[in-house]
Chains A and B, each alone.
Chain A
Amino acid sequence: AQTVTQSQPEMSVQEAETVTLSCTYDTSESDYYLFWYKQPPSRQMILVIRQEAYKQQNATENRFSVNFQKAAKSFSLKISDSQLGDAAMYFCAYSADKIIFGKGTRLHILP
């Protein structure tokens, strides 16, 4: 069965600094998608960034980028120039058919 593991329950970063959130997954599939979702306090979950497994190039969305290591089954999220609005729960997710989520990392931004 596919699993998604986020080993960092909480992290903190100073405003304007860079932080990396870790995610590993387990699958026997070769074609799949990986995602990072953000859930601000008491607000709906929104997509931050996605990566297709067949693409070697790491996805980038403005201040957000990923480090996708397919052989290692690792998918980390880097947030550059952290802002107060980045404070949220971040969930790594995997999909080959249904979408499954990790347990999340709570990110605190320190002013």
Chain B
Amino acid sequence: DTGVSQDPRHKITKRGQNVTFRCDPISEHNRLYWYRQTLGQGPEFLTYFQNEAQLEKSRLLSDRFSAERPKGSFSTLEIQRTEQGDSAMYLCASTVSMDTGELFFGEGSRLTVL
């Protein structure tokens, strides 16, 4: 058990470019979450998966954001045509099931859009 890993840890991009983040959850965890966190704020829910099924996507999320979890293993979060307002920490977390409720977080991927 190596924990939740996220890659890259830091991404700097120019406005209008596409970026993709990857999350590898703890191997036996079937639920995977993506959150966005800005400085001094709480994690904002983006989307979550049960195995490979995307259960919900935040209504606040524009169509520029998409996430996948093929085969119920790792997950990717893609942001197309990035804007400066997308600059944030993108957190991935996983859990075995809702019964335990304990989310295990990765260290996050920090996005800076210039």
Contacts and interface: CB of A to CB of B under 8 A. Distances in A.
Q: Do A and B bind each other?
A: yes
Interface of A: 6, 33, 35, 37, 44-47, 50, 89, 91, 95, 97-104, 106
Contacts of B43: 45, 91, 101
12 contacts: A44-B107, A47-B101, A50-B101, A91-B43, A97-B55, A98-B33, A98-B56, A99-B45, A99-B103, A101-B43, A102-B42, A103-B42
B48 interface: yes
Contact of B48 (A33, A50, A89, A98): A98
B103 A47 contact: yes
Q: Among the interface residues A6, A100, A102, which one has the most CB atoms of the partner chain B within 10 A? A: A100
Interface in B8-31: none
A90 to B, nearest CB: 10
Contacts of A102: 42
Chain A, interface SS category? strand
A76 B13 CA distance: 40
Contacts of B102: 47, 50
Nearest to B50: A97
Contacts of A100: 45
Given A44-B106, A91-B42, A99 B101 contact: yes
